[in-house]
Amino acid sequence: MTYDDIDFSPLGALTGDDEVVTHSLVRDVRLPSGRTLALITLDNGRDHTRPNTLGPATLAELGGVLDALASRAAAGEIDAVGITGKQYILAAGADLSDVSRVPSKEIAKLVAQRGHQVLGRLSQLGVPSFAFVNGLALGGGLEIALNSTYRTVDASAAAIALPEVFLGLIPGWGGAYLLPNLIGIENALEVVISNPLKQNRVLKPQQAFDLGIMDAIFPAVSYLERSLAWADGVLSGTVTVHRKNEPGKLERLTKWPIAVKIARGMLESKIGTVPRAPYLALDLLEKARSGSRDEGFAREDDALAELISGDQFAASMYAFDLVQKRAKRPVGAPDKALAKKVTKVGVIGAGLMASQFALLFVRRLQVPVLITDLDQARVDKGLAYIRDEIGKLEAKGRIDSDTAGKLRSLVHGTVDKTEYADCDFVIEAVFEEVGVKQQVFGDIEQIVADDAILATNTSSLSVEEIGAKLAHPERLVGFHFFNPVAVMPLIEIVKTPQTTDAALSTAFVVAKGLGKNAVLTADAPGFVVNRLLAKVMGEAARAVYEGTAVADVEKAFAPLGLPMGPFQLIDLVGWKVAAHVQDTMTSAFPDRFYANENFHLLAELPEVVEKDKGGRVTGFTKAAEKIAKKAAGSSPVSADAILRRVQDGLAQEIKLMLDEGVVPEVEDIDLCLILGAGWPFIDGGASPYLDREGASERAFGDTFHHPPIRGIANR
């Protein structure tokens, strides 16, 4: 049976009134040689802020157009077919809102088969097909190109990628079979699996060309004209397309399985075995080395149907919606018109965290940035770090030499605090102790203007207490970054009972200017992320001190799907910081949080844990083991018991946070965990996962979501 024999009429139910149909507009182009190329332009009639997407109605229209062009080709009316997109955009992939409405696994399979039927037609027209990738090409957009005979790319295209694994899916419209057979297994592993798992990394046009995904690359100013001339040359034989990874040249016998084996080991080391999509993608890439295109497409159909109907995709869509919509419109943010214009920033401190702040502020806001510290040596060290990092950005080509020079000139360091006088926004990055922060702000308040905004980067202390001795505590906000500052996209903005809307608005506007997503939280111990991570870390420590081996504790946490185990996480944030956070939480909630005095003893060691090559914690160092054993019991806890304790503890804590009004809704907690703790999309943050695992019912007799967020196979 072929795809044309399948009844796709049930997909009509997925076509909602909200589908923005991407139309397939056709015109004949007379090439210089006299040949005729029928050019399809994909266009949804919206501007660049609403990319073309491939929903059911869009695919139906494109399929009809391709059928008509195949008939014209058979009649000798056209010599080739080209497909391109509206300005700046080819297509951003499938319409995920339609996919998320799929009612059954059978319909999910039809979604996969429909994409194969329509896009696969591009290689079965009876004449060559050319994909002119004039802009953004993600997922199904790139698969349009892969299904075409030849491909060119605009050198200014915004992004080229197969991001499906990031969303709990696989490239299911040809990508998992066609790509490895085009560019080789190692390159395909990078594009299909590695890049999506690296914060959804995308390819630049030159990279796509260098990998062999694209056959030619042309500058934006003459892109379509040169692409058409190139296509004419291919048709006439004056242009020869050279592909270094032609199917006959790909080494399949030994390199292919070895590359897959190495990739599997890396996946298990870095993400564990809970996520389904990366491993299904890996299986598809492995099997792509042999068999026909139809067999490869059939495997994609089955894999995509399994994933679309599963819990991980449902959770991913929930998480995707949070990041794409809720994060861009922060709940509780005052009118941005109230914000004070920031023309100069002050950073109190010149240590590593302070220097990271200064670098981010100067790079993103491009305003003068002042750093100070107790002595000039510390200031000079901070300035050297900032200038060195600017140099690295320049060396990587991420900024040009003029910009690098400008940024260096905007950063100034001194021990003279009077230079804060004309700063509009001052943030501290000093020792995590209330008295120290109170003194620092008390000194600065005497210098800055009356309407200057003061911000604290405290990770868990009371912002109201920090500002208790200020003459104007209403200007103080919590502005909590996550480490590494340049990478983590979240800032928790903390409001005290005194904080004015003007101060709060300024904080939100500054956060947006820094390229960060901000979430408003109440002034509660640990705010959101650290409160819940303290629960995770505390339960891990409790298990160790009961007598459970560190490696066994790390494994027990694996089903949570976090990007790293609890002790690996502690090692990343720093043992001193972790010890301080645990103290804060046990002081505030002694009956619910666990801390041990040995946290502080361990924090004094140069190395606390040992790791394998993948960075996973395998145990304590000998020195740490010696400290831990002094307080450890002799009753190891089972992995199931440890996992249940942390699940139930998280469910209880999240419910209490909602009851206390730390954030307005559970969606804000999940958003914080996704952006600030790397909680995986496949969990949807914490609350959908805890509902599915029964922890919510066990903790408070209900669920966070009604109905729980589950895949169609488990509803």
Percentage with pLDDT > 70 across the chain: 98
Question: Cα 106 to chain center, whole Å?
Answer: 30
DSSP 8-state secondary structure symbol assigned to residue 27: E
The pLDDT score that the predictor gives to residue 28 is: 98
The pLDDT score that the predictor gives to residue 562 is: 81
Q: Which stretch of 59-73, 138-152, 620-634, 690-704 has the lowest confidence by average pLDDT?
A: 620-634
Any domain includes 695:
no
CATH number, domain at 591? 1.10.1040.50
DSSP 8-state secondary structure symbol assigned to residue 522: E
Element (H, E) at 30: strand 23-30
The answer to whether residues 294 and 343 belong to one domain is no
DSSP codes joined into one string, 650-678: HHHHHHHHHHHTSSSSHHHHHHHHHHHH-
- What does the pLDDT average to over 195-224? 95
Number of domains in the chain: 3
Report CA-CA distances (Å) from 366 to 96, 406, 510: 37, 8, 12
The answer to whether residues 176 and 137 belong to one domain is yes
The answer to whether residues 541 and 507 belong to one domain is no
Any domain includes 544:
yes
- What does the pLDDT average to over 677-682? 87
Between CA 629 and CA 705, with CA 542 as vertex, the angle to 5 degrees is: 160
The answer to whether residues 144 and 270 belong to one domain is yes
Question: What are the φ and ψ backbone dihedral angles of 134, each rounded to 5 degrees?
Answer: -90, 0
| Contact partners, residue 4, CB within 8 Å, separation at least 6 | 117
Which of residues 309, 328, 357 is at a domain's end? 309
pLDDT digits (tens, 9 = 90+) for 505-558: 999 999 999 999 999 999 999 999 999 999 999 999 899 889 999 999 999 998
Q: What is the pTM of this model?
A: 0.90
Confidence bin at 102 (pLDDT 50/70/90): confident
At 176 the three-state DSSP class reads: helix
Q: Mark whether 546 is an active-site residue.
A: no
pLDDT digits (tens, 9 = 90+) for 623-643: 988 888 877 777 899 999 999
pLDDT digits (tens, 9 = 90+) for 368-398: 999 999 999 999 999 999 999 999 999 998 8
pLDDT digits (tens, 9 = 90+) for 150-186: 999 999 999 999 999 999 999 999 999 999 999 999 9
- CB 509: neighbour CB atoms within 10 A? 21
Catalytic residue among 61, 77, 164, 432: 164
The answer to whether residues 573 and 473 belong to one domain is no
The pLDDT score that the predictor gives to residue 246 is: 64
The answer to whether residues 42 and 182 belong to one domain is yes
Q: Mark whether 604 is an active-site residue.
A: no
The pLDDT score that the predictor gives to residue 16 is: 65
Any domain includes 676:
no
Any domain includes 670:
no
Element (H, E) at 187: helix 185-189
Structure tokens that stand for 224 in this block: 């379509």
Structure tokens that stand for 639 in this block: 């992995």
The answer to whether residues 277 and 413 belong to one domain is no
Confidence bin at 250 (pLDDT 50/70/90): low
CATH number, domain at 364? 3.40.50.720
CATH number, domain at 201? 3.90.226.10
The answer to whether residues 474 and 534 belong to one domain is no
Any domain includes 261:
yes
The answer to whether residues 52 and 96 belong to one domain is yes
Confidence bin at 247 (pLDDT 50/70/90): low
pLDDT digits (tens, 9 = 90+) for 473-500: 999 999 999 988 988 999 999 999 999 9
The answer to whether residues 268 and 361 belong to one domain is no
- What does the pLDDT average to over 449-468? 95
- What does the pLDDT average to over 460-467? 95
Domain that holds residue 644: 529-661
* Greater model confidence, 45 or 271: 45
- Asked if pLDDT for residue 405 goes beyond 80, the answer is yes
Catalytic residue among 19, 61, 106, 143: 143
Any domain includes 92:
yes
Structure tokens that stand for 602 in this block: 């361990």
Which of residues 268, 293, 309 is at a domain's end? 309
Residue 617 and residue 321: Cα distance in Å, rounded?
33
Any domain includes 130:
yes
The answer to whether residues 114 and 186 belong to one domain is yes
* Greater model confidence, 463 or 545: 463
The answer to whether residues 114 and 253 belong to one domain is yes
Residue 229 and residue 233: Cα distance in Å, rounded?
6
Confidence bin at 99 (pLDDT 50/70/90): confident
Sign of the alpha-carbon torsion through 124, 126, 130, 136 = negative
Which of residues 646, 661, 676 is at a domain's end? 661
Any domain includes 693:
no
